[in-house]
């Protein structure tokens, strides 16, 4: 049995505004090392809300979340930031690269924050990640000089820089055309197969989801099929 | 904590909006410049005005005053000790203006380590006689060298040599106003009638110009010996003992001590010129108020720019937080943006402020009332620069505080979800 990376225990969430609404209803599931998991569901089923709780960015929920065996409840904001920095990589629908910095620097930022390696070491790590994603030639450019697909690949490199235990994605192909979406999917697949990287991707794209190892289907705030 | 990382992020955010940043920094520069220039000028002016009084006024003046006795005979009577006594028509007691035992007092004072110097003085009322006209006047008999050392006497002698007063017997330095009325020239003899009715001839060796016209019309200077001669008194006769202290601020305390010790009247410069102290402190207050207002306005400029920057960089802040930067880090980034605007603008302001103060210092300022002043007075006190620098840091920090706190509280979820 592989190591358990992430475990959701009875996670519930309510929205109070505009009406009292339970968006998540006692969610329980686990993700193991090396898994490529997708969370599927219609718009409004609560899948994004769940991802934000799992990513520790949203702390307003009931139940418990264990990452790498540690409970995320009662952790301070700075400690959660540290967990995100060290153990989780993010890829969003939009790339959110900082236009003020070069591509390379963008990739390095979370690593610089972690401070585990020197700047020179990080630079070579960042080059390596960019090479895996096939965009090492763009390293010195500014993000706004890149195409949409390239930007998303830079965002993936940034997610990988600290060798996180899991990469989380929120509709990472949502903004891309079919071809670029395909490229991004292939990258994820390669990361999972070759580098044994665990991935948790939220999507409403059936085709994308069907190609992952495991699909968690959600409806109305509940998991209907894990 | 990785400060260089925070610094490089701050710097890149600054450069991304360098025009607005520059405007904010110019605001700080301008306000610090004006603050420094204004305070230097104001402080210089204060120092000059204070100097008019303080330099020429003894810190403590010992004298005898004609006034009623503090203790009336009935107060000494045992049987009325517990009574409140009303006495009508009290008259001042007959007292000489001479300070008793002045030689011993002067000796004692000169030995006191707190005292910088002592200058005795003989003041006497006279009439200047010009043909049939008699004008009232006052002759101050002074010890010329001590008077010059302690009270810068020579600065106010506009014509003639002040030391002649000592070297030429029966000489006088006339007040400029009195000299003009009497139409005298240097070297002329003038006739003076003393209060005892004697007529004495004195040689004019110089003109004296204080910055107060009423004084110049009345006052003249002679040596102590000449004044004693005019009065027909002995060499011990002294009406005033002027004391200059090493530390001006202890004057009120020492005046009290001397009053008891020597049994004479003693007045300190603070009491004698309290209106001057008030004027000085109010002028200082006003200039600080104006300077600080300027800084606060500059602070609002910084506040606005940071607020704008935060709205604009909301996404960047969100992604920094999502990828592991804590609220504290984000707070530090924006505080350091604010502080670098403050430091950069402030330093330039200090330099420009010095330049402006220097320029003011070069502007000619000639007035008949102030013979020793040729340009506008400016004070280069480092304290003003220190206060200006400290205030620029404090205001920019405060201006950055609220926006930074807002930035640190930004919830990454809201923004990322919002797209």
Across the interface, whether the CB atoms of A98 and B12 are under 8 A apart is answered yes
Query: In A114-126, which positions are buried (b, 16+ CB within 10 angstroms) versus exposed (e)?
Result: beebeeeebbebb
Beta bridge partners of A219: A222
Could you give the domains of chain A? 36-45+77-225 (3.40.50.300)
Which residues in chain A have their CB less than 8 angstroms from residue B328's CB? 78
Q: For chain A, give the mean pLDDT.
A: 86
Please say whether the beta carbons of A196 and A33 come within 8 A. yes
Alpha carbon of B250: minimum distance to chain A alpha carbons (Å) = 57
- Tens of pLDDT, residue by residue over B29-83, are 888 898 889 889 888 888 887 777 777 788 888 888 877 877 788 888 888 888 8
With 0.90 as the threshold, say if the pTM is over it.
Answer: no
Q: Which residues of A touch B (CB under 8 A)?
A: 48, 52, 55, 57-58, 77-78, 81-82, 84-86, 90, 92-94, 96-101, 109-110, 112-115, 158, 162, 170
Across the interface, whether the CB atoms of A86 and B324 are under 8 A apart is answered yes
Alpha carbon of A6: minimum distance to chain B alpha carbons (Å) = 18
Please say whether the beta carbons of A224 and A57 come within 8 A. no
In B35-177 the beta strands, taken as DSSP E runs, fall at 60-63, 115-130, 133-142, 157-160, 171-175
- Tens of pLDDT, residue by residue over B315-360, are 888 888 888 888 888 888 888 888 888 898 889 999 999 999 999 9
Please say whether the beta carbons of B404 and B335 come within 8 A. yes
CA–CA separation, B335 vs B341, rounded Å?
10
Residue whose C-alpha is closest to residue B34's, from B296, B367, B305, B337: B296
Helical residues (DSSP H) of B208-273, grouped into ranges: 213-218, 224-231, 251-262, 269-272
Please say whether the beta carbons of B59 and B243 come within 8 A. yes
Alpha carbon of B21: minimum distance to chain A alpha carbons (Å) = 15
CA–CA separation, A146 vs A152, rounded Å?
10
A1 C-beta neighbours (distance < 10 Å), count: 5
What is the arithmetic mean of pLDDT over B235-262?
87
pLDDT for res B368? 62
Locate the chain A residue with the closest alpha carbon to B16.
A100
ipTM value greater than 0.90: no
CA–CA separation, B349 vs B28, rounded Å?
7
User: Would the pLDDT of B416 be above 70?
Assistant: no
Q: For chain B, give the mean pLDDT.
A: 85
Alpha carbon of A52: minimum distance to chain B alpha carbons (Å) = 7
Please say whether the beta carbons of B342 and B299 come within 8 A. no
- Three-class SS state of B400: helix
Across the interface, whether the CB atoms of B322 and A101 are under 8 A apart is answered no
User: Would the pLDDT of A96 be above 80?
Assistant: yes
A48 vs B319, B327, B417: nearest CB = B417
Query: In B117-126, which positions are buried (b, 16+ CB within 10 angstroms) versus exposed (e)?
Result: bbbbbbbbeb
A78 vs B13, B328, B413: nearest CB = B328
What is the arithmetic mean of pLDDT over A99-104?
86
């Amino acid at each position: 049995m592989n190591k358990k990376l992430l475990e959701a225990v009875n996670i519930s969430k309510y929205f109070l505004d505009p009406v009292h609404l339970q968006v998540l209803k006692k969610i329980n599931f686990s993700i193991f090392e090396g898994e490529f998991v997708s969370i599927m569901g219609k718009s409004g089923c609560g899948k994004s809300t769940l991802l934000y709780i799992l990513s520790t960015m949203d702390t307003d929920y009931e139940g418990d979340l264990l990452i790498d065996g540690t409970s995320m409840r009662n952790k301070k904001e700075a400690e959660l930031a540290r967990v995100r920095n060290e153990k989780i990589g993010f890829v969003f629908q939009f790339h959110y690269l900082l236009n003020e910095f070069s591509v390379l620097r963008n990739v390095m930022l979370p690593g610089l924050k972690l401070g585990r390696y020197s700047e020179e070491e990080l630079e070579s790590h960042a080059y390596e990640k960019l090479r895996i994603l096939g965009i090492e030639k763009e390293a010195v450019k500014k993000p706004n000089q890149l195409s949409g697909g390239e930007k998303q690949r830079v965002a993936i490199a940034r997610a990988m820089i600290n060798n996180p235990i899991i990469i989380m994605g929120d509709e990472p192909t949502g903004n891309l055309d079919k071809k670029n979406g395909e490229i991004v999917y292939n990258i994820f697949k390669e990361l999972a197969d070759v580098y044994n990287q665990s991935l948790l991707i939220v999507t409403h794209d059936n085709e994308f989801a069907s190609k992952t190892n495991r699909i968690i289907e959600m409806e109305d705030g509940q998991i209907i099929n894990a | 904590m990785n400060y260089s990382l925070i610094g490089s992020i701050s710097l890149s955010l600054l450069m991304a909006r360098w025009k607005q940043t520059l405007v904010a920094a110019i605001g700080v520069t301008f306000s610090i410049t004006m603050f420094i220039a204004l305070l230097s000028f104001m402080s210089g002016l204060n120092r000059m005005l204070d100097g008019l009084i303080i330099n020429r006024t003894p810190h403590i003046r010992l004298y005898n005053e004609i006034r009623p006795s503090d203790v009336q005979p009935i107060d000494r009577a045992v049987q009325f000790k517990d009574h409140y006594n009303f006495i009508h028509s009290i008259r001042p007691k007959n007292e000489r203006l001479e300070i008793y035992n002045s030689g011993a007092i002067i000796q004692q004072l000169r030995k006191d380590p707190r005292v910088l110097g002592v200058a005795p003085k003989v003041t006497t009322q006279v009439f200047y006689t010009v043909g049939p006209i008699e004008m009232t006047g006052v002759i101050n008999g002074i010890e010329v060298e001590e008077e010059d050392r302690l009270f810068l006497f020579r600065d106010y002698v506009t014509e003639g040599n002040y030391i002649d007063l000592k070297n030429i017997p029966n000489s006088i330095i006339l007040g400029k106003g009195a000299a003009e009325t009497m139409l005298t020239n240097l070297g002329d003899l003038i006739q003076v009638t003393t209060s005892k009715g004697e007529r004495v001839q004195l040689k004019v060796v110089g003109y004296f110009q204080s910055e107060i016209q009423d004084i110049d019309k009345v006052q003249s200077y002679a040596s102590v010996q000449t004044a004693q001669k005019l009065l027909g008194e002995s060499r011990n006769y002294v009406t005033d003992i002027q004391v200059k202290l090493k530390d001006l601020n202890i004057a009120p305390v020492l005046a009290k001590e001397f009053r008891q010790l020597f049994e004479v009247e003693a007045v300190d410069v603070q009491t004698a010129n309290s209106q001057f102290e008030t004027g000085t402190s109010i002028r200082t207050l006003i200039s600080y108020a104006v300077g600080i207002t300027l800084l606060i306005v500059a602070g609002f400029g910084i506040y606005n720019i940071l607020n704008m920057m935060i709205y604009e960089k909301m996404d960047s802040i969100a992604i920094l937080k999502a990828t592991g930067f804590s609220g504290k880090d984000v707070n530090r980034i924006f505080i350091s943006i604010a502080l670098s605007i403050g430091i950069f603008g402030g330093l330039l302001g200090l330099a420009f402020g010095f330049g402006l103060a220097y320029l003011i210092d070069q502007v000619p300022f000639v007035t008949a009332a102030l013979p020793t002043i040729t340009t506008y007075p400016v004070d280069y006190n480092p304290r003003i620069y220190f206060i200006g620098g400290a205030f620029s840091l404090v205001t920019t920090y405060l201006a950055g505080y609220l926006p930074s706190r807002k930035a640190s509280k930004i919830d990454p979820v809201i923004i990322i979800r919002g797209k």
